[in-house]
Chain A
């Protein structure tokens, strides 16, 4: 079966531009996560959905970051008025269980965002 897919794979934005990153989780997976990975670092948690409910957005770095999952499947991470420090790889992961941490998270290939 298909894994987690993300689009676009690469995005170059001019500073101040808005961007939208898409994540298609594995079909039937309840939990969906977004992570941000800076160059040479490990991923850092941004936000977590259980179905369509955003249960934790504590990792979003500013109010310019917004995520949604309106129908409990596809998710979009939107970044408004992008800044150079937003340049990173944005990883999406999904998990079958209800976020209890007992099952692995399956990661997509990521979207590499470069803000000029």
Chain B
């Protein structure tokens, strides 16, 4: 079973709009990472944020982490059709530092 959830489960937006997806978890974390998965393909790493960080940016991506609320969000600005994919957060627990625990993912569809 998986700990935590992403929401929304599915999101459909127009090209150029921003997309925000959230990830919640239950146990203390060591770090949290966001991955993208295109249909039928492997997971591509987007951003890693450590438990002592609050915000990170990478191009059009912005990730925030609120450890008091045990939640993280991924913002994609000025979305493109190529951003259509499933997005997963994966975290390593503070007590066990190697295996990733994935959420259920957000399926993003960007309409041209």
Contacts and interface: CB of A to CB of B under 8 A. Distances in A.
Interface stretch (B53-61, B64-72, B74-82, B101-109): B101-109
Contacts of B102: 35, 42-44
Contacts of B105: 41-42
Contacts of B99: 33, 45, 48, 56, 59
| Interface residue range, chain B | 20 to 34
Nearest to B98: A99
Given A56-B99, A99-B98, A104-B33, A42 B88 contact: yes
Contacts, number: 65
A65 interface: no
Interface in A48-82: 48, 56, 59
A42 B104 contact: yes
B97 A105 contact: no
Interface in B9-34: 30-31, 33
Given A42-B88, A42-B103, A44-B2, A101 B43 contact: no
Contacts of A33: 98-100
A107 B37 CA distance: 10
Interface string A105-116: 111111010000
The 9 A-B residue pairs with the shortest CB-CB distance in the complex, in nearest-first order: A42-B102, A99-B98, A101-B92, A101-B97, A107-B43, A109-B42, A107-B42, A45-B99, A104-B45
